[in-house]
Structure 1
Amino acid sequence: MSVTKGRKANPEGRMALKEHLIEARNRLVKSGLAMIPGIIIGWILYDPLLQAISEPMKQISLERGVNASLNFDGVTSSFDLKIQVSLVLGLILASPVWIYQLWAFITPGLTKKERKYTLIYLGAAVPLFLAGLYAGWTILPNIVWAMTSFTPRDGSNLIPARDYLQFAMQLLLFMGIAFLVPVLLVGLNAVRIVRGTTYVKAWRFTILGVTVVSAMAAPGSDVMSMFFLGAPLLVLYFGAIGLCVLNDKRRDRRDAKRAHETEATANVPTPLTDLEGL
């Protein structure tokens, strides 16, 4: 009830700097608490996850005849690594919560109609982030295979487990964020920070960036892998840009209509009854 009264008394959602900082702190605390169950689950799933991630190394050993394995080079390295992986998994599993907290921090500055759209953005952000994680998981074996293809047949790939898992986790998060960027583009347009035409003017950089990301994520000789990774990203990016352009046109028509109505009533004298009420 207090939230409703606060919204009616302050429809524009204006807050002082101190209140913004308090709000940001509360959102971060909620996001951190949401990570705790994910960290526990990550701790439990560490062993099967490590076996799944290291599967490309086993395939390399079998098919290329080289010694490829993960190396734990310290007494506490395996324990430290388990903690780090659990933290990353907690961040991934808590993604619906911290994505919602991010949007909840932004929405007070939006209009009532624009706040309704954030529910759509939120509904699209979580599946896209998870889709990006899945894409990263799918292309991980290709990257490991390509990067270790330069090892001589009689050589060895004794990769530090910390470096290998850090590389794998960074790849997953990077792909998740890459799939999340279109939602960010639409969000920036919704709060009137960037217009859709600005995105359209940068279409060359968009294609170049997606091509580079696809080439880095699928560096093997298989061009189709690069295409199947880059095509969905381009569809997502240009689909988001199209939504921004349509939103700008709709908003421009609404603003023009409002300005015309204001200009039409500017010269109309105020009734005496209204003046007496004032």
Structure 2
Amino acid sequence: MNEEKIPQEAEDQEDNNDDSDEATLDRPMTIIEHLEELRRRLIICIVVLAVSAMVAYPLHGYILRLLMVPAGKINLNVLEVTEAFKVNILLSLFTGVVISFPVLAYQILKFVLPALKRRERRLLVPLVILFFVLFLGGVVFSYFNLLPVAIGWLLNQGQGLELTLSVSRYVSFVGWFLLASGVAFELPLVLLALIKVGLVDRRALRKQWQVAYMVILLLAAILTPDWSPITMMVLALPMIVLYELALLLARFFRSPGDVKLKNDHSR
């Protein structure tokens, strides 16, 4: 009898601890607490990013060769004494962002965790995985499809001229382009989240598609490192497809607007 009682008491104690943790999360945080939490999350992100960059540093030569593939046979030049070292650091940082992205996404979601409902908090790990899959998918898709088109078009603008390409500027362009593509591929998840919490309405987004497309073009112009029209369009087209995909998937989610509309019809 006593042996059965002890596990039951332990289980009750564990449930009480879980309820206590949930109650702590449900308690409104002060501004100071929010700032302290933000500082703590930022420190974790910086440390993880720094460690990831240091791990990636010995691979800078291999990474540089990978980044040169979309451009075909080109010659990159070192124009300054310190440029080669700067490029190695830049390559390490870009690679560090990709490696540490799951942790960065986790810290961001943990920061907004108090604003979520108890049931939504259980989706934290699946959301982090989905964030990383979409980000990595955007980087890979851009590397094999978008980047060769953008680089080819830009290099063709210099026909008849002798091109002297700086390795640091090339790496910066390619790195930011790939990271921008990864961020752009998060659009469906962001839209679904906004629709789910009721900040935007799916029917309004569908009705105002012209405005949405213009916003996507503006975002593409901001995200592209060179602001060239062809690069902007190359990035905007997949974002438009992802936008339409998000609206299609949103039909399977019930938002506060859908519930309100259903209640109005039932009256």
Q: Is 1:50 paired with 2:64?
A: yes
TM-score, structure 2 normalization: 0.76
Look up the match of 1:82.
88
Give structure 2 stretches of 5+ with no counterpart.
1-13
Give structure 1 stretches of 5+ with no counterpart.
60-67, 261-278
Q: Is the 8 A contact 1:12 1:108 kept in 2?
A: yes
Residues 120 and 25 of structure 1: CA distance in aligned 2, closer, same or farther (over 3 Å): same
Look up the match of 1:199.
205
Q: Is 1:96 paired with 2:102?
A: yes
Shift of 1:131: 0.5
Shift of 1:241: 2.7
Percent identity, aligned pairs only, is 23
Picking from 18, 22, 26, the partner of 2:36 is: 22
Look up the match of 2:4.
none
In structure 2, distance between residues paired with 1:105 and 1:254: 32
- Larger displacement relative to structure 2 (84-93 or 8-17): 8-17
Q: Is 1:152 paired with 2:166?
A: no
Q: Is 1:241 paired with 2:255?
A: no
Q: How many residues align?
A: 243
Look up the match of 1:132.
138
Q: Is the 8 A contact 1:132 1:178 kept in 2?
A: yes
Q: Is the 8 A contact 1:137 1:172 kept in 2?
A: yes
Q: Please give the per-residue CA displacement for 1:62-101, whole angstroms capped at 9, x wherever unaligned.
A: xxxxxx5212111111111211221121111100111111
Shift of 1:157: 1.1
Whichever residue aligns with residue 52 of structure 1, its letter is L
Whichever residue aligns with residue 230 of structure 2, its letter is P
Equivalences for 1:117-266 in 2 at 5 Å? 117-138=123-144, 139-153=146-160, 155-208=161-214, 213=220, 219=230, 230=237, 233-244=239-250, 246-248=253-255, 252=259
Q: Is the 8 A contact 2:187 2:239 kept in 1?
A: no
Shift of 1:256: 5.0
Residues 120 and 31 of structure 1: CA distance in aligned 2, closer, same or farther (over 3 Å): same
Larger Rg: 1
Q: What's the Cα RMSD here? A: 3.5
- Larger displacement relative to structure 2 (102-111 or 198-207): 198-207
